[in-house]
């Protein structure tokens, strides 16, 4: 699919340090490097396109965007792949409940997501792939797993066709015959796995499975649901195999598999298992997870409906750069709660920083006067080498954006009223906030 347009990223003098990030599998910090010199590949799980883009989604994509910026600054060539889960139970249920065709819902919400990402200054993936685009490839992979004995068929009495079967992944066999073992990525014990599996789309009690934790690879056609005729029969893909197949297809080296922490299990554990069974090798070098954003006391989620949407804030006239600063003011790995204060603090911060680009800030009055050019009394530009070094150090240390923001605050406070193209470039390149942009230049809605 079409991705979205890229913001321009200034090249900074010199190179930043190789980032270290937390790896869920080894439970510690690790150098974010793969098997190839100077090149990294990252697969970040994309949205299921409905009720997008809320602050939780946005926080996760801004976190991996920061990683991409830090890698680039450290001299790496980055290849970035992201999927869109346009065929899945919750999306189909929402389409059903609202009487919209699932394809239409997915397309409209994916467009909204593209525009939200663009307005937040998120670098686009090199490959942006909808599941509906890779049905045959997924079916072929499921067929391979059946032939190699890592998958098996289970009778599906609810299917449209008599005698139809669903296909499941044999976790025990994969654990014995591939480099992958259940639990190596999540480090969860079995009771935790069982409860998360049931909570997050799994079916531990399905009759005929060899192991309650065996995940679905292929669902044979059900009444009223989309289905495709493929090498494994008529039906649609399971969830984890889609990400495994897309990642393997577009990345020769998965340096990082990323997403929110709600994907640690079963999604990333099982994607890794599927990939190992297909290739005989380990899947990703590192597994990286962003914390969960809450709102009104609970995880922000489509199922609860406690959502703050990027597009709604934008429609109210909120500067997307303030939204991005609000997201960056929390460490990506922590669980945190979105509040009105999170945003107003970020709006004030943006106002304090704007003078760096010669734009008059509005002091503590959030919003008012933003974008006005400060003409009079322009002083000599101030160098910001020290600031660049500090921001680089903080971000290379497990993407510590909150400390980077504080470092910039301190620098701005000690250079009152200074203009600094160097500082502006650092903030743009590494934090994705362009202080020279005119926030009113972008239309509030995306017309595609």
CA distances to 13, 145, 180, 213, 358 from 173, rounded to whole Å, are: 51, 11, 10, 12, 63
CB of 179 to ligand 5CA, least distance (A): 23
* CB-nearest residue to Zn ion: 45
Tell me if residue 396 falls in helix, strand or coil.
helix
Q: Are 78 and 34 in contact (CB under 8 A)?
A: no
- CA–CA gap between residue 259 and residue 43 (Å, rounded): 9
Q: What are φ and ψ of residue 354, in 5° steps? A: -55, -35
Q: Give me the count of residues in the chain.
A: 448
- Site map (CB under 6 A) of ligand 5CA, residues 298-317, x = contact: -xxx----------------
57 near ligand 5CA, judged by CB under 6 A: yes
Q: Are 249 and 137 in contact (CB under 8 A)?
A: yes
Contact region for Zn ion (CB under 5 A) — 37-45, 139-147, 312-320, 375-383? 37-45
The count of residues interacting with Zn ion (CB under 5 A) is: 2
Q: What are φ and ψ of residue 293, in 5° steps? A: -90, 130
185 near ligand 5CA, judged by CB under 6 A: no
**Burial (0-12, 13-18, 19+ Cβ within 10 Å), 329:** middle
Contact region for Zn ion (CB under 5 A) — 4-12, 182-190, 243-251, 423-431? 243-251
- CA–CA gap between residue 51 and residue 64 (Å, rounded): 21
- 370: which 2 tokens? 């933003």
- CA–CA gap between residue 23 and residue 95 (Å, rounded): 36
290 near ligand 5CA, judged by CB under 6 A: yes
Contact region for Zn ion (CB under 5 A) — 143-151, 177-185, 235-243, 305-313? 235-243
CB of 152 or CB of 332, closer to ligand 5CA: 332
CB of 351 to Zn ion, least distance (A): 38
CB of 59 or CB of 424, closer to ligand 5CA: 59
The count of residues interacting with ligand 5CA (CB under 6 A) is: 21
- CA–CA gap between residue 153 and residue 209 (Å, rounded): 9
- CA–CA gap between residue 195 and residue 172 (Å, rounded): 18
262 near ligand 5CA, judged by CB under 6 A: yes
* Helix, strand, coil distribution of the chain in percent, nearest 5: 40, 15, 45
Binder to ligand 5CA among 70, 106, 129, 292 (CB under 6 A)? 292
CB of 74 or CB of 293, closer to ligand 5CA: 293
Binder to Zn ion among 21, 32, 40, 45 (CB under 5 A)? 45
Residues 6+ apart with CB under 8 A from 325: 346, 349, 350, 405, 431, 433
Restricting to residues 263-282, name those near ligand 5CA by CB under 6 A: 263
284 near ligand 5CA, judged by CB under 6 A: no
CB of 7 to ligand 5CA, least distance (A): 20
245 near Zn ion, judged by CB under 5 A: no
Contact region for ligand 5CA (CB under 6 A) — 259-267, 309-317, 324-332, 435-443? 259-267
243 near Zn ion, judged by CB under 5 A: yes
Quick one: which of 7, 18, 20 has its CA closest to 333? Answer: 20
Neighbour count for residue 372 (Cβ, 10 Å): 12
430 near ligand 5CA, judged by CB under 6 A: no
CB of 313 or CB of 412, closer to ligand 5CA: 313
CB of 152 to Zn ion, least distance (A): 23
Contact region for ligand 5CA (CB under 6 A) — 93-101, 247-255, 293-301, 318-326? 293-301
CB of 300 or CB of 328, closer to ligand 5CA: 300
- 150: which 2 tokens? 């890592």
CB of 300 or CB of 431, closer to ligand 5CA: 300
Quick one: which of 216, 202, 231 has its CA closest to 135? Answer: 231
260 near ligand 5CA, judged by CB under 6 A: yes
85 near ligand 5CA, judged by CB under 6 A: yes
Q: Are 135 and 230 in contact (CB under 8 A)?
A: yes
- CA–CA gap between residue 228 and residue 247 (Å, rounded): 21
User: Which residues bind to ligand 5CA, rule: CB under 6 A?
Assistant: 45-48, 56-57, 59-60, 83, 85, 243, 259-260, 262-263, 290, 292-293, 299-301
User: Which residues bind to Zn ion, rule: CB under 5 A?
Assistant: 45, 243
């Amino acid at each position: 699919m079409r991705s979205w347009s890229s913001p321009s990223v200034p090249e900074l003098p010199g190179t930043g340090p190789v980032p270290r990030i937390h790896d869920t599998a080894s439970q510690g910090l690790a150098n974010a490097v793969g098997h190839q010199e100077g090149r990294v590949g990252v697969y970040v799980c994309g949205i299921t396109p409905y009720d997008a883009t809320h602050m939780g989604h946005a926080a996760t994509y801004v976190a991996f965007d920061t990683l991409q910026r830090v890698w680039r600054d450290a001299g790496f060539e980055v290849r970035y792949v992201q999927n869109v889960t346009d065929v899945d139970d919750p999306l189909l249920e929402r389409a059903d409940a609202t009487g919209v065709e699932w394809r239409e819902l997915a397309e409209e919400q994916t467009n909204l997501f593209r525009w939200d990402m663009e307005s937040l200054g998120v670098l686009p993936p090199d490959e942006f792939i909808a599941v509906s685009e890779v049905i045959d490839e997924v079916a072929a992979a499921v067929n391979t797993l059946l032939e190699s004995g890592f998958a098996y068929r289970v009778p599906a009495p609810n299917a449209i066709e008599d005698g139809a079967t669903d296909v499941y992944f044999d976790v025990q066999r994969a654990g014995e015959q591939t480099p992958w073992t259940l639990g190596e990525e999540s480090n969860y014990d079995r009771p935790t796995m069982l409860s998360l599996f049931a909570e997050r789309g799994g079916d531990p009690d399905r009759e005929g499975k060899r192991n309650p934790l065996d995940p679905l690879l292929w669902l044979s056609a059900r009444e009223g649901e989309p289905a495709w005729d493929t090498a494994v029969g008529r039906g649609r893909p399971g969830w984890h195999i889609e990400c495994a197949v897309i990642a393997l297809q577009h990345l020769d080296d998965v340096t990082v598999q990323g997403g929110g922490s709600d994907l640690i299990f079963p999604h990333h554990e099982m994607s890794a298992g599927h990939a190992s069974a297909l290739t005989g090798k380990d899947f990703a070098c590192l597994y990286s997870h962003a914390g969960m954003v809450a709102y009104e006391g609970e995880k922000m989620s489509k199922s609860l409906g406690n959502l703050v949407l990027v597009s709604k804030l934008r429609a109210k006239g909120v500067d997307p750069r303030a939204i991005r600063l609000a997201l960056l003011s929390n460490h990506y790995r922590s669980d945190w709660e979105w509040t009105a204060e999170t945003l107003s603090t970020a709006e004030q911060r943006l106002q304090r920083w704007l003078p760096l680009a010669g734009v008059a800030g509005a002091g503590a009055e959030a919003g008012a006067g933003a974008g006005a050019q400060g003409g009079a009394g322009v002083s000599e530009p101030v160098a910001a080498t020290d600031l660049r070094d500090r921001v680089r150090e903080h971000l290379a240390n497990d993407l510590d954006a909150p400390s980077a923001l504080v470092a910039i605050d301190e620098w701005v406070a000690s250079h009152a009223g200074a203009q600094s193209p160097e500082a502006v470039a650092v903030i743009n390149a590494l934090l994705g906030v362009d202080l020279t942009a005119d926030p009113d230049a972008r239309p509030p809605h995306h017309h595609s």
